[in-house]
């Protein structure tokens, strides 16, 4: 029997990368998953790949009515929610002189507003307790990259939000933790660079800088998301689990 048998999970940004790998893992462990993303085509591909026990809800986590639609769908189909993996994220490299209000709103909207209101709107359905995992990043607190100021601030903000939520959520039987990836081989890693050549250079640099000498795989992050979402981590709340090949530790 799987370790998430009978559980209902929402995974935002579940159509590719870490979210998709986690959706596959949760379903293999017996859960029913609702995955989200803005693009219908990749959501359909993800559902075909996951194969069973999955519903896709198209929407933007930065849009309040899309979030309402997501949780209304969960309520109508299952009536309850046990696990939220707030995973959807956006990244863009911008140096200080080029930061605009639009850039700030876009990155903060997805990575911080999307997390905060995603958690708030999930809570009424988490009537039997459960676990919330927020996908942050080692650049939130452990590493710095000069062109990722707003992205780093958004991830550090999510980390602060988690800590503040621990007492209230504990009283409701809900654990909340951050998962902080280092460089991981997903579409976001490749797409944040202007060309494939630039992405290759960044990949080689990340390989060299990481103590384990390679970047992570989506399945390695999914293992950690499963750990934090399941009773395997039943005495853990409020932590920031770095899954980064040691990059943020040295
Ligand atoms: N890969 C890395 O090196 C790395 C490192 C540190 C942290 N992270 C974090 O890991 C998380 C997952 O990223 P990933 O690496 O798995 O990248 P990914 O494969 O590009 O996945 C991103 C997912 O989020 C969705 N998404 C993006 N913007 C969204 C929005 N506004 N509303 C709803 N869904 C949205 C994407 O689908 P649509 O585009 O169709 O919406 C996709 O499903 C992110 O929070 C990222 O910051 C990644």
Instruction: List pocket residues of ligand 1, CB cut-off 6 Å.
Output: 12-13, 15-19, 36-39, 42, 60-62, 87-91, 110, 135, 137, 181, 183-184, 186-189
How does pLDDT run across 62-82, given as a tens digit for each residue? 999 999 999 999 999 999 999
The atom of ligand 1 lying closest to the CA of 181 is: 6
Measure 1 CA to ligand 1 centroid, in angstroms.
Answer: 30
Question: Tell me, what DSSP letter sits at residue 185?
Answer: S
Give percent of the chain with pLDDT exceeding 90. Answer: 98
β-bridge partners, 175: 131
Measure 180 CA to ligand 1 centroid, in angstroms.
Answer: 13
171 against 142, higher pLDDT:
171
71 given a catalytic annotation? no
Measure 20 CA to ligand 1 centroid, in angstroms.
Answer: 10
Instruction: Tell me the pTM.
Output: 0.98
Nearest 5°: the CA angle 118, 121, 127 is: 120
From 12, 34, 37, give the residue whose CB has the most ligand 1 atoms within 8 Å, as the site to mutate. 37
Mean pLDDT of the chain: 97
Quick one: pLDDT band at residue 243, thresholds 50, 70, 90? very high
> What residue ranges define each of the domains in the chain, with the CATH number in brackets?
8-243 (3.40.50.720)
Average pLDDT over residues 71-98: 98
Take residue 239 and report the two structure tokens written for it: 């932590």
From 18, 56, 63, 179, give the residue whose CB has the most ligand 1 atoms within 8 Å, as the site to mutate. 18
Q: Whose CA is nearest to atom 17 of ligand 1?
A: 188
Of 71, 104, 151, 235, the catalytic one is 151
Q: Is 154 exposed, middle or buried (0-12, 13-18, 19+ CB in 10 A)?
A: buried
β-bridge partners, 241: 179
3-state helix, strand, coil in the chain (%, to 5): 50, 15, 35
Quick one: pLDDT band at residue 204, thresholds 50, 70, 90? very high
């Amino acid at each position: 029997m799987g370790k998430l048998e009978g559980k209902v999970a929402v995974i935002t940004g579940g159509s590719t990368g870490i979210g998709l790998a986690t959706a596959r893992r949760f379903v293999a462990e017996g859960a029913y998953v609702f995955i989200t993303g803005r693009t219908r085509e990749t959501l359909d591909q993800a559902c075909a790949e996951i194969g069973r026990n999955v519903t896709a809800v198209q929407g933007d986590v930065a849009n309040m009515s899309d979030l309402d639609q997501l949780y209304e769908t969960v309520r109508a189909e299952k009536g309850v929610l046990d696990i939220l993996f707030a995973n959807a994220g956006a990244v863009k490299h911008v140096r200080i002189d080029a930061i605009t209000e639009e850039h700030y709103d876009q990155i903060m909207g997805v990575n911080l507003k999307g997390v905060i209101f995603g958690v708030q709107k999930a809570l009424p359905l988490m009537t039997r307790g459960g676990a919330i995992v927020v996908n942050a990043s080692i650049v939130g607190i452990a590493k710095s990259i000069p062109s990722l100021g707003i992205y780093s601030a958004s991830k550090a903000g999510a980390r602060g939000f988690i800590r503040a939520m621990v007492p209230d959520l504990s009283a409701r039987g809900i654990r909340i933790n951050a998962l902080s990836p280092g460089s991981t081989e997903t579409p976001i890693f490749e797409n944040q660079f202007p060309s494939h050549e630039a992405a290759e250079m960044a990949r080689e640099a990340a390989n060299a800088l990481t103590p384990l000498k390679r970047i992570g795989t989506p399945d390695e992050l999914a293992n950690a998301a499963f750990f934090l979402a399941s009773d395997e981590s039943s005495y853990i709340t409020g932590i920031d689990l770095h899954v980064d090949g040691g990059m943020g530790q040295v």
